[in-house]
Amino acid sequence: MSEESYSYNRHVIDYIQQAAERGVYDIRGMGAKRRLPTFDELVFLTASLSRYPLEGYRERCVTKTILGTRKAKRPVELATPITIAGMSFGALSARVKEAIGRAATAVGTSTTTGDGGMTPEERQSSKTLVYQCLPSRYGFNPDDLRKADAIEIVAGQGAKPGGGGMLLGQKINARVAAMRTLPEGIDQRSACRHPDWTGPDDLTIKIEELRELTDWEVPIYVKIGASRVLHDVKLAVASGADVVVLDGMQGGTAATQQVFIEHAGIPTLPAVRQAVQALEELGVYGQVQLVVSGGIRTGADVAKALALGADAVSIGQAVLIALGCNSRHYVRSAGGDHAWESVDVTDEYRHLGTEPGFCHHCHTGRCPVGVTTQDEELEQRLNVEWGARRLQNYLNVMTMELSTLARACGKSNVHHLEREDLVALTVEAAAMAQVPLAGTDWIPGKKSY
């Protein structure tokens, strides 16, 4: 049998032939799918003789997290450092937004609006809601601004740093169109540059404007996609941000060009370390909080991000997965209290040209499990109560995993996890995270530890 080319393998051949056939580039949802360095390449040096562990389940381990202490009168106080990332109404249905809000409120964390503005459903269901100020300014208004518990200026996103977004016409129903002041059914471009500021000097003035608009009450976050992290974090801090939100390359999107998702920005692992370095070099570590997102999947990921110096994380794709994304079934109420029955939708995945477990077809608006859709029939597939309970479970599990690891490292507060608690399993991860390679005291790029 003849050998498959490495450079021109079947995927590359398919890509070239599709491009030649259709003359358009691929647009898709979710995040990078190629192999990237992840937090899996780090492990904890938990306690034994040289460190004392805390008794799991008995000794207290604080998970309380406070964001926005630098200048705001009312910092955001959360019961867990795991927050929910900005996802737009338009990409998600109002039901999904409500389920997310309910779960977040139950576990004491924050949710975030997205491109498209704030829905009453999410404001009502979310105790702590972060309001995004995006380049498109779709749905942006002073009334919702004043209802926010924090404001997040989005300068970039990990899935597409330097690029704008796209909401394809099939997802623009009457409500989405009205919120965005655009006709129904047309493809909506989300700009990559803000209409009223350019660069860090302007951003300083923009942040001050938002503070004046909200009487200096709530924290201002600045979200950046991870690329030139060291410089960008410093500029965000210099511009006056209370919180820097750093979204790594694994971060998801509702829809953007595939070429962006797979080829732009840097992974979350090296990005966190650079962001912490930037805060340390400016002497504002602990004063300006760092929230990290992009590929946070487990309590272990959260613990590692915190140990590297983050104050909190935020999750997006994992939220959707908890709500049933890429699952073979959706569930519907079977009448009695909390009785559910599963409905197999494998055929609908196939109809989209995919399979459960492989789907990234959020951009089509035909989500088989009713998560990323505006279709009246499909969106009913997400039962709000069921979804809220699932997400609440998932957030609780991650928080417990996090505190379990912290206790095992001898910490009575998850925020006491530190870089010294970590080693790397690969030279690459050791270099990126600047922690020693396991079994050595060698940190690549440094002479000794």
Partner 1 sequence: MASVAPTVEFDLDQISLRELNQFLHHDLGSGDHVEITHPNGRHSIAVGIDADVDVQIRGHAGYYVAAMNKRAHVTVHGNVGWGVAENIMSGVVRVKGNASASAASSGRGGLVIIEGDAASRCGISMKGCDIVVGGNVGHVSGFMGQLGRLVVCGDAGAGLGDSLYEAVIYVRGQIASLGADAREEPLSKSDISALVELLDQAGFAHEPSEFKRIASSRTLYHWNAAHLGSYG
Q: Where do contacts with ligand SF4 occur on this chain (CB under 6 A)?
A: 29-30, 320, 325-326, 359-362, 367-369, 371-372
Comparing CB distances to ligand SF4, the nearer of 322 and 325 is 325
Give min distance, CB of 354 to partner 1, in A: 22
Q: Calculate the alpha carbon distances from 265 to 222, 255, 292 in Å.
A: 17, 17, 14
State which of residues 28, 160, 206, 360 lies at the interface with partner 1 (CB under 8 A): 206
- Residue 367's binding partner among ligand SF4, partner 1, none (Cβ under 5 to 8 angstroms by kind) is ligand SF4
Give min distance, CB of 197 to partner 1, in A: 7
E strand or H helix that includes residue 272: helix 268-282
168 binds partner 1 (CB under 8 A): yes
Comparing CB distances to partner 1, the nearer of 195 and 439 is 195
State which of residues 123, 137, 175, 328 lies at the interface with partner 1 (CB under 8 A): 137
Place of tokens 């129903």: 173
Q: From start to end of 53-204, where are the E strands? A: 65-67, 76-78, 82-84, 110-112, 128-133, 150-154, 165-167, 188-190
Tokens of 11: 């995927």
420 binds partner 1 (CB under 8 A): no
Distance CA 252, CA 363 (A): 12
Distance CA 189, CA 164 (A): 7
State which of residues 5, 9, 124, 141 lies at the interface with partner 1 (CB under 8 A): 141
Restricting to residues 173-192, name those near partner 1 by CB under 8 A: 177, 180-187, 189, 191
Comparing CB distances to partner 1, the nearer of 194 and 390 is 194
- Residue 326's binding partner among ligand SF4, partner 1, none (Cβ under 5 to 8 angstroms by kind) is ligand SF4
* Exposed e or buried b per residue across 355-374, where buried means at least 16 C-beta atoms within 10 angstroms of its C-beta: ebeebbbbbbbbbbbbbbbb
Give min distance, CB of 30 to ligand SF4, in A: 6
Residues in the chain: 449
Distance CA 60, CA 407 (A): 9
Give min distance, CB of 353 to partner 1, in A: 20
215 binds partner 1 (CB under 8 A): yes
Distance CA 12, CA 119 (A): 42
- Residue 94's binding partner among ligand SF4, partner 1, none (Cβ under 5 to 8 angstroms by kind) is none
Task: Return the sign of the alpha-carbon dihedral for residues 243, 246, 247, 250.
Answer: negative
State which of residues 62, 145, 230, 282 lies at the interface with partner 1 (CB under 8 A): 145
Count of positions on this chain that bind partner 1 (CB under 8 A): 32
303: three-class secondary structure by DSSP: helix
Restricting to residues 216-235, name those near partner 1 by CB under 8 A: 216
Helices 268-282 and 229-238: crossing angle in degrees, nearest 10, is: 40
Give min distance, CB of 146 to ligand SF4, in A: 32
The 8-class DSSP code of residue 434 comes to: T
Residues contributing to the site for partner 1 (CB under 8 A): 136-137, 140-142, 145, 168-169, 177, 180-187, 189, 191, 195-197, 202, 205-206, 208-209, 212-216
